[in-house]
Amino acid sequence: MHAKPSLLIVDDDPLIVESLSFALEPDFEVAVADSRASAMALLRGGKFSPALALIDLGLPPVPNLPTEGFRLVGDLLAFSPQIRVLVLTGQNEAANGRRARALGAAELVPKPCDLTHLKRQLMAALKGQHDETSVLRESQKHDLIGDSAPMQKLRAQIDTYAASMYPALIEGESGSGKERVAAALHHLSARAKQPFFALNCAAISANLVEPTLFGYAKGAFTGAANATAGYFEDAGEGTLFLDEIGELSLELQPKLLRVLENGEFQRVGETQTRKSKARVLAATNRDLKAEVKSGRFRADLFHRLSVFAIQVPPLHMLGEDKLKLMMHYRALFSTQNAGAQPFTLDGKARDAWLNYSFPGNVRELKNIVIRLTAKYAGYVVGVDELLQEFAAPDAENPHHAFNPRADIELAVAASAAFSLDEKLAQLELKYIDAAISLSQGNMTQAAKLLGLSRSTLYSRLDVLRPAQLPR
């Protein structure tokens, strides 16, 4: 018998969790959590690795806001980019749902949900996960897509640094393609025929990182029935890519530094010194210089990792490359989707595509292409249909929320009127939401953070969002 696909349900309403679990357990291996913290603790424990996640946006400690849900989408995809995340959303949360899609969510599930339809959506998402894995494996055969100046600079850096034996630090926003850059560095080097191993340092429990990297002796800890080699041994003379390196614990950082300096390491529970000849590449979306200043990352390890530093450009900087990437993934996903005819964009939709900032970078672009391929295979997509796939204009998007020119251009591309009053109200609401989040729902404290009286804060919220007031 085939194992049931694994599903994580995250919702703080016990009735919803109970009903969903009861309905879905015949078809899925279900685990539940009631908050972002408990969900990530479950995954980092190493005993449950979900293929799918069904999450509510409104989670503690501020369940009346979508902040924790947005963060959980990012956390889940950082833990494992292969997880397909579906978001539970009310009809009045369409903008929040689009923001979740921008962060990498695969689909939206309206509340209340029809359970038969929900099962179909989960199975479709699971199939999409398998199809996308196959497509991306195929796309690894291709060069990095794009001819913009930032992409030409990136290619030149890869060509320059590929042949070196020294570490390289790959920096860039989440979803921008840092692992693709690491793979390119490996495949263009003399190590190309040697193994390429990748480890996401945020994806496994902190106490498992050391044995995973360095291996362990028999009996080193409970469950260590046999001596086992780690990634440094298995990589041989190949490449070891450490993603989310900023999550590495301070206790483990000196051991990694030792390997980088002289190649020496020990398996957990052993005294024998072993040697590694693997090249180490690391990636992060954090500002490691700031992490060093705050004491969360060792300065000597940072300098050793960043012998070469490569900055992967965010998608909003790539201009016409957005279209080239769309056409590339459109062809791949159309072929994968039973040879479906590719969709096309009309003139206004094309302009909207170029004006959109893609806060979720290439990961968001791929998800949009997947959905357009499924919905509009062989059809011409207009601007109205396309804008439904974009993050809402008032989303937590630094390139969008504080880029007046892009906002106006997007409105023009959509043949829609731009309202300054509406934009200022959206901006005001962002600051209010941030203050409420920082104060964990304490409205008196939130008012103090904003320099307002509590009554004034409520008055403004009555105007901005009357249906969602926390009292």
Q: Position 204: which residue type?
A: I
Predicted local confidence at residue 416, as pLDDT: 59
Reported as a single tens digit per residue, the pLDDT across 194-221 is 999 999 888 777 788 999 999 999 988 8
pLDDT of residue 236: 92
Is 353 within 8 Å of 326 (Cβ atoms)?
yes
> What is the rounded CA–CA span in Å between residue 76 and residue 67?
14
Task: Give me the residues paired with residue 274 across strands.
Answer: 265
- Where would I find the H helices in 277-419? 288-293, 299-305, 321-336, 347-355, 361-376, 383-387, 398-401, 404-413
**Residue 295's pLDDT is what?**
94
The angle, 0 to 180 degrees and rounded to 10, between the axes of the packed helices 94-103 and 361-376 is: 120
Distance CA 278, CA 275 (A): 9
Q: Structural domains in the chain? A: 6-139 (3.40.50.2300), 149-311 (3.40.50.300), 318-413 (1.10.8.60), 420-468 (1.10.10.60)
The number of helices, as runs of H, and strands, as runs of E, in the chain is 21, 14
* Cα diameter, the chain: 70
**Tens of pLDDT, residues 122-137:** 888 887 655 544 444 4
Q: DSSP labels for 82-107?
A: TPEEEEEE-GGGHHHHHHHHHHT--E
352-370 per-position pLDDT tens digit: 999 898 988 998 999 899 8
Which tens digits make up the pLDDT trace of 302-340?
999 999 999 999 999 999 999 999 998 898 888 777 667
Residues 122, 106: Cα–Cα separation, whole Å = 10
> With bands split at pLDDT 50, 70 and 90, how would you rate the model's confidence at 395?
very low
Q: What is the pLDDT of residues 437-459, one digit of tens each?
A: 777 777 888 888 888 888 888 88
In this structure, are strands 274-275 and 264-265 parallel, antiparallel, or unpaired?
Answer: antiparallel
| Cα gap 181→161, rounded to integer Å | 11
Lookup result for tokens 């479950």 = 42
Tell me the average pLDDT of the chain: 84
User: What is the structure's pLDDT at 467?
Assistant: 43
If you ran DSSP here, which 8-state letter would residue 226 be given? S
Count of CA atoms in the C-beta half-sphere (13 A) of 207: 6
Res. 389: pLDDT tops 90: no
Q: What's at 438, amino acid-wise?
A: L
Please give the C-alpha separations between residue 44 and each of 60, 202, 204, in angstroms, as whole numbers. Answer: 19, 8, 5
pLDDT of residue 400: 43
Contact criterion met (CB below 8 Å) for 50 and 203: no
Is a pLDDT exceeding 60 seen at residue 420? yes
pTM over 0.75? The answer is no
- Alpha carbon separation from 301 to 204, 213, 264, 267 (Å, rounded): 21, 16, 15, 20
**Could you give the C-alpha distances from 325 to 322, 334, 350, 361, in angstroms and in order?**
5, 14, 13, 11
